[in-house]
Structure 1
Amino acid sequence: MTTLMIIGNGFDMAHGLHTSYGDLKEFVAGKDKSIYDQINDQLFIGNKDSWNNFESNVGTDDSYFENGFQETIENAYQTALDMDTGGDPMRGDMLSQMENNDYAREEEISNLLYLGYNHFNFEELYSKFISFLEEMLEIENKKSVKVNSVVKSKVKEEPNTKFITFNYTHTLEKNYNIPQTSILHIHGELGKDELIFGNQEDKLTNLNPLEFTEKDHESEEYERNCEAYNVLSDEEKECYFPPETGHDYSAHPTPNAVDSSDYVEQYNVSKEEWIKVPNIDEFDKFISELEVDKIIVIGHSLGLVDHEYFNSLEKKFPNAQWEVSVYESETRRDEVRDNFKKLFPAKKACFFTL
């Protein structure tokens, strides 16, 4: 029989590595204040405490962009209304002037929407954040640490052990001489893989593109008149004098409507980078040939973001005994216990202090 150890970030922290979300918050703030402010404003809507549960908070509030898109639309619409619409008979062809004005308005609206969206600079945020995360972890990964007595005793007691680590670092390999064949880095390995980071897909919210348009009611009425005019017979058209231009309405473009739905779609697609796609196939492959009678969780909070993995373990090893580390802090200790109950309401676990 095999013991399976599940390793979370608390494992690295118990070895003195600065890998908490609080450490990450300070690291990003020290490296690039503008990115730090952008994360706070755009992802956490000014709530800096959201860093404490970064992954479960990211992507759950769109109000910053909702307000930003609406403001951009209003500015573009007002700008369009303030631009020239008619023609001057002293300057020549009235129809050409009107069409040129309409084209200029459409170009100005398009430009304002483009500038408004790019002002967010959101599409680059994920890659910049990940680069800072990797840089911080590389620094911590190079540090020499002391072996943790609790972990050492667990590893010594369970010589036939496999490891699934949610960490990107190599603390297990370097300090406990665990062969890589016995370890699965389920979220990627620092220096080798693309790191998997983010929130559950069903927890991320999206904006509805259809809600981010400003209709031009006068132009809509104008188009309705177009349709009425264009279905007339030639004889009827001779009796129908268009009230403003005296020409076929279908040649007149919509001048003032503002439609930012394409940019809203673009924003929604960019948010998908913040989805943590569970590596469940590799996870199941790793445990498929194991016969596990004990599962030891060290330094993992059993949070909702990773529930799919733990549900898979319960399904595969329903009779396994569980041992779960808790923190010295009373608040964090209760958090882990509560998370275990949410995962496995009918199960009991042996809790130990890390």
Structure 2
Amino acid sequence: MIFLTFNYTDTLESVYCIDPDNIKHIYGYVKNKNEELVIGHCNQKAISYALEKKKEAEVNFVDFAVSTFDRVSKYFNTTLKRTSNIIYENTEFFNSLSNVDEVIIIGHSLNKVDMPYFEKVLKSVRENAIWKAYYFEDTDEKPFEKVLDDLGIKNENRFVRKTQELYL
């Protein structure tokens, strides 16, 4: 089994005794002192908004707002997760998925920010791979179905279940 985790911690290694060689920490691994962690967000809109507000403040000569929005835009820019770069830097990992015929998603919200990774996984695994997505809250079932649908995963190739079913 190969594991892709968006978590920086050693949960898979220490709790589930997964061999670290089978785990890809896409945003870095807290125990790897030679690796810089990718911490932040993927919200380009926040940067654009701060820069827009900075320009408005400049036009209106509101110096404290110019300074504030300048700092906010710089903060958002330095903490921006550059997803396409991360995917490119991990080309070898994604290429290693070519024989994968089952994708299991556990403990992930399936929110928009990580969709480029799931799209890359989809392109990397076998064409008719089975996708199993496990959700925690009942309210997540329909959104999970929609995400898998939006990814283009056929109904017959996907299963969306409560996390508790993993332990039955």
2:133 to 316, 324, 337: 324
**Residue in 2 that maps onto 1:247:** none
TM value normalised by structure 1: 0.38
How many equivalent residue pairs?
Answer: 150
2:17 to 174, 177, 192: 177
Task: Check whether the contact 1:198–1:275 (CA below 8 A) recurs between aligned residues.
Answer: yes
Q: Secondary structure at the match of 2:104?
A: strand
**Residue in 2 that maps onto 1:199:** 41
**Residue in 1 that maps onto 2:81:** 276
**Residue in 2 that maps onto 1:115:** none
Distance (Å, rounded) in 2 between the aligned partners of 1:210 and 1:298: 43
Distance (Å, rounded) in 1 between the aligned partners of 2:121 and 2:27: 17
Structure number with higher helix proportion: 1
Task: Check whether the contact 1:299–1:326 (CA below 8 A) recurs between aligned residues.
Answer: yes
User: Can you give the 5+ residue segments of structure 2 that lack an aligned partner in the other structure?
Assistant: 164-168
Q: Quick one: structure 1 residues 210 and 282, their matched pair in 2 at CA, closer, same or farther if it must change by over 3 Å? A: closer
Higher Rg of the two aligned structures: 1
Matches within 5 A, 1:256-295: 258=61, 260=63, 263=67, 264-278=69-83, 279-290=86-97, 291-295=99-103
The Cα of 1:325 is off from its aligned counterpart by 1.0
Matches within 5 A, 1:1-354: 161-192=1-32, 193-204=35-46, 205-208=49-52, 209-213=54-58, 258=61, 260=63, 263=67, 264-278=69-83, 279-290=86-97, 291-317=99-125, 318-327=127-136, 329-344=137-152, 346-348=153-155, 349-354=158-163
Distance (Å, rounded) in 1 between the aligned partners of 2:102 and 2:59: 60
Task: Check whether the contact 2:141–2:161 (CA below 8 A) recurs between aligned residues.
Answer: no
The Cα of 1:304 is off from its aligned counterpart by 0.2
Task: Flag the structure with more relative contact order, 1 or 2, with Cα contacts below 8 A and sequence separation at least 6.
Answer: 1
Q: Quick one: structure 1 residues 201 and 214, their matched pair in 2 at CA, closer, same or farther if it must change by over 3 Å? A: closer
TM value normalised by structure 2: 0.74
Task: Check whether the contact 2:9–2:31 (CA below 8 A) recurs between aligned residues.
Answer: no
Q: Secondary structure at the match of 2:50?
A: coil
The Cα of 1:287 is off from its aligned counterpart by 2.3
User: Can you give the 5+ residue segments of structure 1 that lack an aligned partner in the other structure?
Assistant: 1-160, 216-257
